[in-house]
Every structure is written in structure tokens, then in C-alpha cells.
């Protein structure tokens, strides 16, 4: 697949100024300039955020109203329920708010909907249960901003609602006593992109400030807040970066027995955003995906060592089942794509029997990533096909589906991810219509872009320079690992690993030889040979093997040198 290599225009003057002023190397200065982090306050907050870098929580809409009502509930020992979501953001949000309120003496219950039976967000059946349990106050976390009818129904039953959410609001807000969401149109809060658990963190910060508590009473939850923030793939800049940078330090020494057990089970030796994204998050998400969301919450809340062991085993079992289910669906989908030659189309739409709703979205993501095409996977159920879709940058999948209204039963989501429900007898018509829309939008002209921080040669880099890039961590959405281009490298050795799946190279520039690894690029071992001159785009990293550290290029793309 062709990729568009775009190298940042180097501003040598600004780079030199940063190098001299902050005593940093050229590579680090270049990346900061590329990210437009050039002012002293910006640089200090980015590289070394501190607890006083948190914004005032009362700048968030309705925060004061929400806090006053929660404090009233604490004083009167009211029956309160927290209504959450089944993903990592939702689970960590419930964990933080429940733990904090119970430390203040308020016993609270929680309700997390079952993904497979209830779906996302508030529903009237759940509100009925909450009412029958005698709850007078319902606090939503990571959901609720679009629950107009459900909040109205709760009001009719005499349940007051506080919404805390981070999703985009519609034209109408729920008629709750408070709607705390930094994305509200009237919001003046400096950071709009908090995760749901980030909003909860601001709530407990505000309660602490109002009650005159020591700041450690809310800061001690940053380990859990950090997990939810990274897992929800919000931009790791601004206040999110403060949360994650400080939070990761607490994760390393966490006192939460459940989190400690999950970390030990991942097998990762280093605790960073990568460990959370690929080691911790999938295990927690697996519970919700397989319909056992309450197990993940129990693991975070329990203080019993025996229960921690049992629940950790369950999480690992659910994750293995999720992986197996995902693999089966993926293989069946790929077979359809190959047999029907769908890779030549602009969009990929497939349907299968017994495809699990909890993992179908992950498979769609993998297929979109593999082919760089929007994909929709549907599970065949009686007369319907129900499923999920993922898109590519530059093609608004939600907008495209609005143009297919006559062949879709219902859908929801946003430009990059959708949920969809169609009648089986409309499947072929839907496929053709989506394909036609993609042609009208000239989707074939969209090419993946690699934004490259700098062109460098092998003799410019050493271990200290590569180590200095750690100051840019944590990496994630909004702060990607820096990419570099290396030109006119000579292939010194080349082979495929893992049954042809991955590519292993050593490359030479003058007298310098460096290792390079290309994950999922094994097919290139047949296209290149020893002695070929190539250009590589990749990340720089230190690979430790048998106790020896070596500089390594993690290849993202490669082409023959001109």
C-alpha cells in the first residue's frame, strides 16, 4: 500500500533556541518544535507536569450544582447509585467515584448495563430497577449526555440525576439537576477532551476542595484515572497528559490489589502507556465484551487477596475467550473478502452467522487497518444483520450511513466508528449503495499519511539520544511516537520471522550498522535482497536482548532509494 511521507518543515532557528535555553539535544528540540511546544510554560508542563497543573474543576459547567447535591447526599446518608459503562473508562469511573464517596462515609450502589443484553447508556428498564431499590440520586459516569427520555423517566419516578460525561452533547441536554461535561456548547473549561474517568476525577477534586480535604484524598486515585484515560484513547495532551504522566508513577507502586494483579499477569517488564493499552485494557474490556462487566469492577474494588486471585483468573479466561472468538470471526471475514474479491472495492461489508457482538468491532478495526478501507461487519440474526463499522481518516462513515437511510433500520456512532442494524434482505442493496457513496466521495484518492519528524542518518544517533525520547512519553492519541526517515541505507541482512509474518533487517549507513524490525511486514523479505539501497520510516527504540541494549528501528514503511 502506498503511503504519503510528509516530513515536517524544520525551523532551525527555533530548534537552536530550545537547545540552548533548555539544554536538550537537537532531536528532542526538533520534535517539540514540530508539536508547537515552544513556550517555557508549555515545555515544562509537557516534559514535567506537576499537580498544580490541574485546572480548576469549578470552571466546568454545572460542577458547583453537582457538588452541592452530592455533599447533601453525603450529609443525609441518602441512597445513591452510580450508573456506568462496561468498558475500561466506565469501569474505572465507577471505581473511583464509588471508592471516594464510600471513604467519605456514603454507601453507594452501582449499575453497569450488560453490553450484550442492554447496550450502551441509560435504559428505562435499568431506571425501573434503580427506583425499586429506593435510590433517590443517580450519578452517571461516562454516559448520560444523550439520555433525554431516560432522565425524564427518572424524574417522573422521583429520582434526581447528575450527569457526568465526556461525549458530545446533542442540541438538547437531559433535564438533570446537573450536566457536567466539558464538551457542552457553553463550556469554558480549558480541556475539552477528558475521558469519562477524567471528568469523575474533576468531580472528586471539586468535592475535596469544597470540603477542605487534603489534596492527597483525590490524587491517590490517579493510578485508576490514568488506566481509564489511556484506555479510552483520548488525546494525551493538556490535562490528560498531566493525569497520565503523574498517574503512571502511581501505577508503578499501586496499592490497588486488582490493578497490581492485572499488571503482574500481563508479562510486561516496563509500565508505560503501551503496557496499559495492550496489556491491561484488553483484559478489563474482555469482561464487558463477553457480558461479565461486573467481574472487572469487583476486581478493582476488592480488598481480599483470595478474591483478587479468583477474579484475575476469570479476567484472563475471558480475555482468552475473546481472543479466540475474535480470531475465528477474523478468519471467516478474511475468507469472504478473498473469495468475493472485496479488497478491490472501496468499502468492505461482510456478514456471518454466530459472530459475537462484543468483539465484532475489534475485527472491523483490524480489517480497516489491514486494507485501509472502511469496513462493516454484520452478525446474521433471524431477519436482521447487526454489527459495527470502522472508517479511515478522510471518510465520514456516519455521514455516509445517513445517505443510506432507506436501506438501514437504525445506526449510531460518529465519523470513524458506527453501530448498525439492517434487514438481511437489504444486505446487497446496502453494500452497493455504500460503495457508490464512497466512489462519489473519491475515497480511492485517500492515502495514509506518515508525519515524519525529521530525516536523520545513523551516525547522528546514539543510545543517549534515543533514551532522551523517553521524556516525550507517554505516547498515545495526540502525542504519537516520533517518526524518522533514514535514506540510502544498504541492506546488510534480511529475513522473515514468525512463519513469514514479520521482517528482520540489519541496515548500513557508511560504517554504522543498525537492526530494524518490521511487524506484519514479512512479505517484504521477498521484495528486497542484501545490497539493496532503501529508505525507511520508523520509530527509534532500545531493544534489550540477553541483557544487551541495542538501537533498533521499528519500521512503519520502506521503499527503494531513488
Domains in the chain: boundaries: 4-48+450-560, 53-313, 334-445
Q: Is the pLDDT of residue 89 over 70?
A: yes
For the chain, what percent of residues have pLDDT higher than 90?
81
Predicted pLDDT of residue 480: 92
Q: Is the pLDDT of residue 351 over 80?
A: yes
d(CA 157, CA 94) in angstroms, rounded, equals 23
Predicted confidence band of residue 291 (pLDDT cuts 50, 70, 90) = confident
Predicted confidence band of residue 411 (pLDDT cuts 50, 70, 90) = confident
Q: Is the pLDDT of residue 293 over 90?
A: no
CATH match of 4-48+450-560 with 2.40.50.460: yes
User: What global pTM score does this model have?
Assistant: 0.90
d(CA 209, CA 198) in angstroms, rounded, equals 16
Q: Is the pLDDT of residue 114 over 90?
A: no
Mind listing the pLDDT tens digit for each residue in 139-177? 999 999 989 999 999 999 999 999 999 988 888 999 999
Predicted pLDDT of residue 115: 76
CATH match of 334-445 with 3.40.50.11540: no
Predicted confidence band of residue 1 (pLDDT cuts 50, 70, 90) = low
Which residues, 6+ apart, have CB-to-CB distance to 118 below 8 Å?
A: 125, 126
Same fold: 4-48+450-560 with 53-313: no
| Domain 53-313 -> CATH class | alpha beta
Residue 23 or 99, more confident: 99
Residue 348 or 381, more confident: 348
Q: Is the pLDDT of residue 22 over 70?
A: yes
Predicted pLDDT of residue 510: 83
Which stretches of 30-152 are assigned E, i.e. beta strand?
A: 80-83, 108-111, 137-141
Dihedral sign, Cα of residue 27, residue 30, residue 36, residue 41: positive
Predicted pLDDT of residue 490: 96
3-state SS record for 30-42: HHHHHCCCCCHHH
Q: 383: exposed, middle or buried (C-beta count within 10 Å: 0-12, 13-18, 19+)?
A: exposed
Q: What is the mean pLDDT of residues 13-37?
A: 92
The phi, psi pair for 218, rounded to 5°, reads -110, -30
Closest by CA position to 349, among listed 441, 426, 440, 446: 426
Measuring CA to CA, how many Å separate 302 from each of 105, 228, 263, 264, 299?
A: 17, 18, 16, 17, 6
Mind listing the pLDDT tens digit for each residue in 382-391? 899 999 999 9
CA 541 to chain centre: 22
Q: 270: exposed, middle or buried (C-beta count within 10 Å: 0-12, 13-18, 19+)?
A: exposed
Indicate the range of 22-36, 296-310, 404-418 predicted with least confidence.
404-418
Q: Mean of the per-residue pLDDT values for the chain?
A: 93
d(CA 544, CA 141) in angstroms, rounded, equals 41
Amino acid at each position: 500500500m502506498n503511503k504519503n511521507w510528509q516530513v515536517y518543515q524544520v525551523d532551525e532557528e527555533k530548534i537552536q533556541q530550545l537547545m540552548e535555553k533548555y539544554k536538550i539535544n537537537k532531536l528532542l528540540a526538533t520534535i517539540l518544535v514540530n508539536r508547537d511546544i515552544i513556550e517555557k510554560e508549555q515545555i515544562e508542563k509537557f516534559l514535567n507536569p506537576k499537580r498544580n497543573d490541574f485546572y480548576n474543576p469549578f470552571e466546568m459547567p454545572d460542577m458547583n450544582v453537582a457538588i452541592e447535591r452530592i455533599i447533601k447526599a453525603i450529609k443525609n446518608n441518602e441512597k445513591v447509585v452510580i450508573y456506568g459503562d462496561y468498558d475500561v473508562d466506565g469501569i474505572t469511573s465507577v471505581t473511583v467515584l464509588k471508592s471516594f464517596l464510600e471513604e467519605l462515609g456514603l454507601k453507594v450502589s452501582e449499575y453497569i448495563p450488560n453490553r450484550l443484553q442492554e447496550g450502551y447508556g441509560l435504559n428505562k428498564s435499568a431506571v425501573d430497577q434503580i427506583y425499586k431499590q429506593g435510590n433517590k440520586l443517580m450519578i452517571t459516569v461516562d454516559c448520560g449526555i444523550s439520555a433525554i427520555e431516560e432522565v425524564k423517566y427518572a424524574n417522573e419516578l422521583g429520582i434526581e440525576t447528575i450527569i457526568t460525561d465526556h461525549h458530545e452533547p446533542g442540541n438538547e441536554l437531559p433535564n438533570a439537576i446537573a450536566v457536567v461535561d466539558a464538551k457542552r456548547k457553553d463550556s469554558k473549561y480549558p480541556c475539552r477532551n477528558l475521558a469519562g474517568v477524567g471528568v469523575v476525577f474533576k468531580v472528586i477534586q471539586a468535592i475535596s476542595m469544597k470540603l477542605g480535604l487534603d489534596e492527597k484524598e483525590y490524587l491517590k486515585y490517579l493510578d485508576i484515572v490514568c488506566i481509564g484515560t489511556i484506555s479510552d484513547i483520548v488525546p494525551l495532551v493538556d490535562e490528560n497528559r498531566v493525569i497520565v504522566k503523574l498517574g503512571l508513577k502511581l501505577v508503578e507502586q499501586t496499592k490497588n490489589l486488582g490493578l497490581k494483579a492485572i499488571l503482574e499477569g500481563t508479562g510486561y517488564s516496563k509500565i508505560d502507556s503501551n503496557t496499559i493499552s495492550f496489556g491491561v485494557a484488553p483484559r478489563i474490556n474482555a469482561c464487558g465484551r463477553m457480558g461479565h462487566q461486573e467481574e472487572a469492577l469487583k476486581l478493582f474494588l476488592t480488598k481480599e487477596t483470595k478474591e483478587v486471585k479468583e477474579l484475575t483468573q476469570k479476567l484472563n479466561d475471558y480475555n482468552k475467550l475473546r481472543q479466540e472468538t475474535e480470531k475465528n470471526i477474523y478468519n471467516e471475514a478474511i475468507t469472504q473478502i478473498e473469495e468475493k474479491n472485496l479488497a478491490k472495492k472501496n468499502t468492505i461489508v461482510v456478514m456471518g452467522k454466530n459472530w459475537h457482538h462484543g468483539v465484532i468491532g475489534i475485527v472491523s478495526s483490524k480489517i480497516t487497518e489491514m486494507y485501509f478501507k472502511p469496513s462493516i461487519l454484520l452478525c446474521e440474526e433471524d431477519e436482521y444483520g447487526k454489527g459495527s463499522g470502522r472508517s479511515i481518516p478522510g471518510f465520514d462513515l456516519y455521514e455516509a450511513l445517513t445517505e443510506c437511510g432507506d436501506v438501514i433500520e437504525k445506526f449510531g456512532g460518529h465519523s470513524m466508528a458506527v453501530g448498525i442494524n439492517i434487514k438481511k434482505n437489504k444486505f446487497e442493496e446496502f453494500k452497493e449503495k455504500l460503495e457508490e457513496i464512497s466512489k462519489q466521495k473519491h475515497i480511492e484518492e485517500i492515502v495514509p499519511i506518515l508525519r515524519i519528524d525529521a530525516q536523520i542518518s545513523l551516525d547522528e544517533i546514539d543510545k543517549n539520544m534515543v533514551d532522551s525520547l523517553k521524556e516525550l512519553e507517554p505516547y498515545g492519541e495526540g502525542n504519537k511516537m516520533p517518526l524518522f526517515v533514514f535514506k540510502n541505507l544498504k541492506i546488510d541482512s534480511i529475513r522473515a520471522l514468525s512463519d513469514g509474518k514479520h521482517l528482520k533487517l540489519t541496515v548500513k549507513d557508511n560504517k554504522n550498522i543498525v537492526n530494524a524490525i518490521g511487524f506484519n511486514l514479512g512479505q517484504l523479505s521477498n521484495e528486497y535482497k542484501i545490497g539493496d539501497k532503501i529508505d525507511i520510516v520508523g520509530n527509534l527504540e532500545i531493544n534489550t536482548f540477553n541483557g544487551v541494549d541495542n538501537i533498533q528501528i521499528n519500521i512503519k514503511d520502506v521503499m527503494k532509494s531513488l
